[in-house]
Structure 1
């Protein structure tokens, strides 16, 4: 993907069906400086036009998006790094095992931003360091929420 696209390609959509580390960049509502948050509860729509992200209901990104809806997502893989720019909206609070909000990003631009001559050969991996049963319960709950058509 060498030129700017307006939707996610199928490889990125597939990558964003699992727990993937994604960088969410918003503009801090107070300082007006870029703010980076790392998220992993992420799901792209099948048409590649939206990305849904679940976050805790008090996350700083919520206030930032409500003040300025323009966001950039940094996606690592497949084989490259991508910048996804768009406008985001924030849902009401969803209550489950914990309280969540869903950030929905309407994709406007997708650009391959890997340096010339570089190619990723391994995707980043992470490990959850809390109760595995609670992690599974939260993951199941969140992905059901992200998959809903609301």
Structure 2
């Protein structure tokens, strides 16, 4: 049975991408030409064809995207695992209203694929805990998400 492929985000994924969450991002490494995978959490679906995410503007992710725009964002949600392929670009090298030097990256969604192996479903989604000052983390998370919503 072939996995479902869509040209844009399905509604459950759009809804899940309205808040900070654990996702992985695959880029093409600018030095080796091989795959590079990173875990990120500041991600937002602007609409069903556009994703935003924020990373330190000195991140290898930024260098990789400047060299090759092709990316895949992986998300575990809706009892499954999805691969969201697209082309990324740096929308802003320094986000407004955020105390850190974060780049705002935009992904133009080209394909959404359910990549869960046949005959199974996710029963527990990944969770994480911030290991630094919880109040500072909450303030920063709110600032970053609000800045992405305004962009």
TM bin (shorter chain): over 0.9
Q: What's the C-alpha RMSD, in Å, of the aligned pairs?
A: 1.3
Task: Could you list the structure 1 runs, at least 4 aligned residues long, displaced by more than 6 angstroms after superposition.
Answer: none
The reply on whether 1:26 has 2:27 as its aligned counterpart is yes
- Look up the match of 2:142: 140
Gaps of 5+ in 1: none
Q: Which residue of 1 aligns with 2:72?
A: 72
**Which residue of structure 2 lines up, in the alignment, with residue 52 of structure 1?**
52
**What's the counterpart of residue 120 of structure 1?**
122
The question of whether the paired residues in 1 share the 8 Å contact of 2:22 and 2:41 is answered with: yes
Q: Give the unaligned 5+ runs of structure 2.
A: none
Please state how far the C-alpha of 1:35 moved relative to its aligned partner. Answer: 0.2
Q: Deviations over 1:124-149 (max 9, x none)?
A: 11000000121011111101111013
1:3 Cα deviation from its structure 2 partner: 2.3
TM-score between both structures, scaled by the size of structure 1 = 0.94
Contact between 2:94 and 2:103, CA under 8 Å: does it hold in 1? yes
**What are the superposed Cα offsets for residues 21-44 of structure 1, whole Å, 9 maximum, x if unpaired?**
111000010111100010000111
- Separation in 1 of the partners of 2:29 and 2:105? 16
